[in-house]
Structure 1
Amino acid sequence: MTALRPLLTLAAAACALAACTGPGTDQASPEAPAAAASVSPSASEPPVDPADPATWRLPLEAYRLSPAEEAKLAKAATVLTQRCVREGGLADWEAPAPLPKLGGKTYTDWRYGIHDAALAERRGYHPDADEQAAYDAALADTMRTQPATVDSCAIKSRAQLGAGEHGKLADTLAGEAWGQAKREPAVVEAFGRWSACMAEQGYHYREPMDANAGWDSSGVSTAERKTAVADIACRVRTQVAKIWFDAEARLQLPAEQRESAALKADRAALDDALRTAEAVLADSD
């Protein structure tokens, strides 16, 4: 009798291929919001808007996968896994779709905290309700009981695509710069202005990321929504996110220069994996 188990490996493999760092938004630092398991591709990169963190670009992003590239690898992993499982005798098996994006849509979108006032009024620090529902449904699908052969096929798919650990050096260096930037004088001063602004409205937090911690994950309270709205108003007044971003971008440059050879090798390996993924997807059409 074929053993059955929850389908965890396929989602984990897709996440590893995309150099994910955890659930939520696209981050490297353990303190910062982290990356979702997989994302939906975008048609093109948006132009840079000084008022929209989602459009900002950090130097080390060049050495990691873009959202569209993450989606391509995840889709190719799904195709390979389904092909392997069916060749193993389960002709009718259907792989679950890659997990949809939840939270920030780009590497920098929620990297320095929330910034969408309309969303904050509805959801506080939580993702959009429809996005959350779609993500939860897709996650439940990946957790359904599956034949044990799916695990081995998912691992083989990951190896065949070959992205492996590549791209994680950029995330590690970026995470270090993210944390170091908080100690830069301009950022410390901006944090102080933001904290004072929040105190004027009755909220007492030392740093901007402190405000989004500790809220109930099962629902959105009135207190959370009000705090989030005040948070964004103070962010706009103090420009704290842009000051933080500028400091991090500056700190990433020496790290990029210091680790240039390794970063370029990682990027080349990611490009090889993407070419393999493109061939897999072309063959599946």
Structure 2
Amino acid sequence: MYRATAVLALGVAGLLTTVSGCGSSTTPEQRPGDNLAAPHVSPTATRSLSSSASISLPIEEYLLKNDEHSQILYASKLLVRQCMARFGFDYAVDASWKSPADPKGDAANMVRRYGVSDTETAARYGYHPAPDMVPAAPASTQPMSDAESNVFLGDTPGPGGSGPAPKSYKGQKIPSHGCSGEAERKLGKGLQERLPEDINDASFQQSMSTPQVTAAFRSWSTCMKKHGYTFQNPLEPLRGQLPASPSAAEIERAKTDVACKQKTNLIGTWVAVESAIQKKLIEKNQEALTQVRATAQKTIEQSAKVSAGGSVS
């Protein structure tokens, strides 16, 4: 469910293995997000839903929208380019970073969250995503030289402990954590806040073991079996490598999948349960989430200035 972190998105995958939210030092104090286990939930109402595409979940109020996410990434790259230029390096910025494939798409991936759920899409693409949902691959870039990497990363801790990083390059002081760190300081930490993403993921994982959803899985599985397909839950058909284009057999299976979801109201049940879990988790972390969104909004505003050609400090 997670999107790329800022460092990876800046085009240096492999230079660092540090991923925000995937491990931290232990402290005696409980911090926001340390406990994301929701108590037992029992939705008060379950709507009849034929698709998940037009539905939103409570946590989406705190998640970055696709266009906000892309705007921050693009502004980050522009600031890195400005910084790298001071040291004589050309840091390429692909304009495709500025425009996501689905600008207004939801960050919770509702279109595909519960597998294929739209009849028309299944009939055209089977289990393949529609073309307008597939992000364009960024233009390939040349690997950074050691000198470029030093300027880009500065004293950012890396794997292996390869010794102290250079503090300067050709007489110029390298910023703390390099040009990537300088860009983050100028924009703020709006792209690094993981609590909403953690809740988004936790609710999904927890929902699949609730009595309501597992019962819906069984009903859906029974429906599929009547048509000759053996799956335990709706995520199983999505596993494995898809061919380049959908076959007639895949399309027929996907259409049956959607029909069984509609017949059993699996989507309505799953959305109701996950919404109830998220509301509990949001309530437990309300203060932290409010601060996260405020931080994100400030970063979005700074990013808009940079993208428009302005300067930030």
| TM-score normalized by the length of structure 2 | 0.66
For residues 84 and 20 of structure 1, what CA distance do their matches in structure 2 show? 27
| Higher RCO (CA-CA < 8 Å; seq separation 6+) | 2
d(CA) in 2 for partners of 1:280, 1:173:
30
Contact conserved, 1:72 with 1:278, CA < 8 A, in 2?
yes
Shift of 1:117: 2.7
Task: Give the equivalent residue in structure 2 for 1:161.
Answer: 187
Counterpart in the other structure of 1:85? 84
Kept in 1, the 8 Å contact 2:123–2:254? The answer is: yes
The superposition leaves residues 59-115 of structure 1 with CA deviations (integer Å, 9 ceiling, x where unpaired) of 222222122211221221232233233333346x6412317437x932222111112
**Residue in structure 2 matching 1:127, options 123, 126, 129:** 129
**Distance in 2 between the 1:214 and 1:190 partners?**
23
Distance 1:116 1:265, change over 3 A: same
Once residues 263 and 198 of structure 1 are traced to their aligned partners in structure 2, the CA distance between those partners, rounded to angstroms, is 40
- C-alpha distance in 2 between matches for 1:171 and 1:262: 13
Change (3 A) 1:60 1:8: closer
Give, as a single letter, the amino acid of the residue that structure 2 aligns with 1:85: M
Secondary structure (helix, strand or coil) at the match of 2:117 reads: coil
C-alpha displacement of 1:51: 4.4
Q: What is the distance in 2 between the residues matched to 1:54 and 1:168?
A: 24
- Which of the two has higher C-alpha Rg? 2
User: Is contact 2:62-2:292 (8 Å) kept?
Assistant: yes
Amino acid at match of 1:175: D
Would the alpha carbon gap of residues 262 and 131 (structure 1) be closer, same or farther in structure 2, given more than 3 Å must change?
closer
Aligned-partner residue type, residue 116 of structure 1: D
Residues 124 and 215 of structure 1, relative CA distance in 2, 3 Å threshold = farther
Could you tell me which residue of structure 1 aligns to residue 236 of structure 2? 210
Cα distance in structure 2, aligned partners of 1:174 and 1:130 = 24
The 5 Å alignment of 1:45-194 reads 51-90=50-89, 94-96=92-94, 97-98=96-97, 100-101=100-101, 105-106=105-106, 107=108, 108-129=110-131, 132=134, 135=136, 138-139=137-138, 141=139, 143-148=140-145, 149=148, 151-152=152-153, 153-163=179-189, 166-194=192-220
- Between the aligned partners of 1:101 and 1:181, the Cα distance in structure 2 is 29
Name the CA shift for 1:8/1:246 in 2 (closer, same or farther; >3 Å). closer
The aligned amino acid for 2:101 is K
Is 1:273 the counterpart of 2:299 in the alignment? yes
Residue in 2 that maps onto 1:35 = none
Instruction: Name the structure 2 match of 1:41.
Output: none
Deviation, 1:145, is 1.0
Q: CA deviation at 1:127?
A: 1.8
What is the rounded CA distance, in whole Å, between the counterparts of 1:83 and 1:54 in structure 2? Answer: 40
Q: Which has the higher helix share?
A: 1
- Aligned-pair CA distance for 1:246: 0.9
CA distance in 1, matches of 2:193, 2:56: 16
Give the corresponding residue for 2:271. 245
Alpha-carbon distance change, 131 to 261 in structure 1, aligned in 2, over 3 angstroms: closer
Residues 166 and 269, structure 1, Cα contact 8 Å, conserved in 2 = no
Change (3 A) 1:117 1:51: closer
Unpaired segments ≥5 residues, structure 2: 1-6, 14-19, 23-47, 154-178
Percent identity reads 26
Does structure 2 retain, via aligned residues, the 8 Å contact 1:112–1:245?
Answer: no
Kept in 1: contact 2:190–2:297 (CA 8 A): no
User: Which TM-score applies when normalising by structure 1?
Assistant: 0.71
Count of aligned pairs: 241
Structure 1 window deviating more from structure 2 (185-194 vs 104-113): it is 104-113
Aligned to 2:157: none
Distance 1:217 1:127 in 2: 12
Structure 1 residue identity aligned to 2:189:
A
Residue range with higher mean Cα deviation, 81-90 or 150-159: 150-159
* Residue 199 (structure 1) shift: 0.7
